[in-house]
Structure 1
Amino acid sequence: MVMCKTILDALERIAPKRLVEEWDNSGLLIGSPAHRTERVLVALDVTDAVVTRAMEKKADMIVAHHPVIFKPLKHIRTDLSIGARIQTLLKHGIAVAAAHTNLDIARGGVNDVLAEAIGLEQVSSFVLTEQHKDGTTESLGRVGALLAPMRIEDFAETIKEALPVTYVRMVKVGERTVRKVAICSGSGAEFIGKAAFLGADAYVTGDVRYHDAQQAMEFGMHVIDAGHFGTEFPIVRRLAERLQHELETVKGEVEILCDDVSHDVFTVV
């Protein structure tokens, strides 16, 4: 058993809070740093199903990518979903921490895991968030290259097989071969113009709207929408592995578990 602060310190080494975007709400959101922790459940979202799973597994803490409290709360109404969820977490002594944009940006984080999953090499920065004096940069998303050029249809099929999805949506623009690829996990349609400016043959993200797709077509760039869930859920297992590694030399035992109940909220019929 360790203190919650020990988990937070390990999380800080993986995804430093200095990377958090100003509008974000990462860090310890429910509980105390002194909270004693024996089991940690790593998840993408803190849903009712995840909270139930944490209780079943007797987890003392949930580490999630998406914050359980994102927008400011004016009240905690236990007859509404977020209030009831917070009540349940407090009642059962389950602390909750989030690593959101810091895990998106961090090296080895959400976007690097996505790049690796879909076969990108020579990976570099995409949307710069910080540039250091030594020339190194931090960024949302990544830009990389495929080992060999592919047809957009084949690339889409590769992504569908690599990610936890049953389908992807594709915006095809002519017969342009795909070699250079920009990616942004989760919801990155706002960066379509940036991807096109950098010369990407295809852009992979989630939550693409109709007019976003039209814009990509005007730029002559393919887009593959693999969904918010699909582009981010692969981080869950990798984050669990990294937390376990970071805690190997810590005094006290703690078990790191992976969310095994979540699935995409969208299906195709």
Structure 2
Amino acid sequence: MVKCQVVMDALERIAPKRLAEDWDNPGLLVGAFNQDIRKILVCLDVSDGVVEQAIREGADMIVAHHPLIFKGLKKIRTDLPLGARLQQLLKHDIAVAAAHTNLDIAVGGVNDVLAEKIGLGRLSTFVITSQEADGTMESLGRMGSLSAPMTVEDFAGQVRDVLPTEHVRLVHAGQRPVRKVALCSGSGAEFIQKAAFMGADAYVTGDVKYHEAQMAVELGMHVIDAGHFATEFPVVEVLRQRLTEELAEYNMEVIADRESRDFFTVI
């Protein structure tokens, strides 16, 4: 058993809050820094199913990627989903923390996990978010390379097979082979033009809209939309392992959500 503050310190070492975008809301969102924590559940979203799992398995804390509370709350209606979820969390004394864009940007975080999964090496920065005095740069997304060129169809199939999804959407931009790849987990369609200008043969992300796909084709760059869920969910198990290592001296039990699925299916 440790205080919640100890868990938050471990999370800070993994994904420092200073890395987060200004609009984000990472950190401790429900609970108190001095409450006792015996078991942690790591997840992508604090859904009803995740809260039920936490209660069922006796977790005192949930560590999520997506913040449960994002914007200011003017009311807590327990007859609506968020209010009902908060009521259950408070009733069962379950703390909730989030590491969002700070975990996206952190070394070993969401984007590095995605890059490794889909077979990229020689990783470098993509969208620079900050630069330290010593020249160290932090980046949202990654640029990387495949070990050998592939057809975009083969690469899209590889991406599909290694991620928790049954399908990907391919924006085919001609017969260009794929070697250099840009990626941004979750929702990164706003960076399509940047990826093309940086020489990417293909861009892997999620939540791509029609006219964004049109832009990619006009720029001559393939896009693989693997979905918001599938490009981010792999970090859950990695974060579970990292927290287990950081809290090893306390013998903290850290479990992962393995039941959540993408909201989208293809009929």
TM-score > 0.5 by shorter chain: yes
Contact in 2 for aligned 1:53/1:261 (Cα 8 Å): no
Alignment correspondent of 2:260: 262
SS of the residue aligned with 2:199? Answer: coil
For 1:24, give the aligned amino acid. D
Contact in 2 for aligned 1:64/1:99 (Cα 8 Å): yes
User: How far is 1:156 from its partner?
Assistant: 0.3
Aligned partners of 1:186, 1:71: CA distance in 2, in Å?
A: 19
Alignment correspondent of 1:75: 75
Aligned partners of 1:144, 1:42: CA distance in 2, in Å?
A: 28
Deviations 1:32-54 (Å, cap 9, x if unpaired)?
01110000000000000000011
For 1:143, give the aligned amino acid. M
SS of the residue aligned with 1:176? Answer: coil
Equivalences for 1:242-261 in 2 at 5 Å? 242-249=242-249, 252-261=250-259
Aligned partners of 1:132, 1:146: CA distance in 2, in Å?
A: 29
SS of the residue aligned with 1:199? Answer: coil
Alignment correspondent of 1:59: 59
User: How far is 1:136 from its partner?
Assistant: 1.6
Aligned length: 267
Alignment correspondent of 1:136: 136
Aligned partners of 1:173, 1:147: CA distance in 2, in Å?
A: 21
Contact in 2 for aligned 1:38/1:253 (Cα 8 Å): no
Alignment correspondent of 1:198: 198
Aligned partners of 2:84, 2:23: CA distance in 1, in Å?
A: 25
Equivalences for 1:200-239 in 2 at 5 Å? 200-239=200-239
Deviations 1:77-127 (Å, cap 9, x if unpaired)?
101100010000000110000000000000000000000000000000000
User: How far is 1:21 from its partner?
Assistant: 0.6
Q: Is the counterpart of residue 91 in structure 1 residue 88 in structure 2?
A: no
Aligned partners of 1:6, 1:13: CA distance in 2, in Å?
A: 11
SS of the residue aligned with 1:142? Answer: strand
Aligned partners of 1:215, 1:36: CA distance in 2, in Å?
A: 51
SS of the residue aligned with 2:204? Answer: strand
Deviations 1:153-202 (Å, cap 9, x if unpaired)?
00000000110000000000110000000000000000001000100000
Contact in 2 for aligned 1:185/1:228 (Cα 8 Å): yes
User: How far is 1:248 from its partner?
Assistant: 1.2
RMSD: 0.6
User: How far is 1:244 from its partner?
Assistant: 0.4
Alignment correspondent of 2:121: 121
Identity of aligned residues (%): 65
Unaligned stretches of 5+ residues in structure 2: none
The normalised TM-score by structure 2 is: 0.99
User: How far is 1:253 from its partner?
Assistant: 3.2
Unaligned stretches of 5+ residues in structure 1: none
The normalised TM-score by structure 1 is: 0.98
Aligned partners of 1:148, 1:136: CA distance in 2, in Å?
A: 29
Alignment correspondent of 1:174: 174
Aligned partners of 2:219, 2:246: CA distance in 1, in Å?
A: 43
SS of the residue aligned with 2:134? Answer: coil
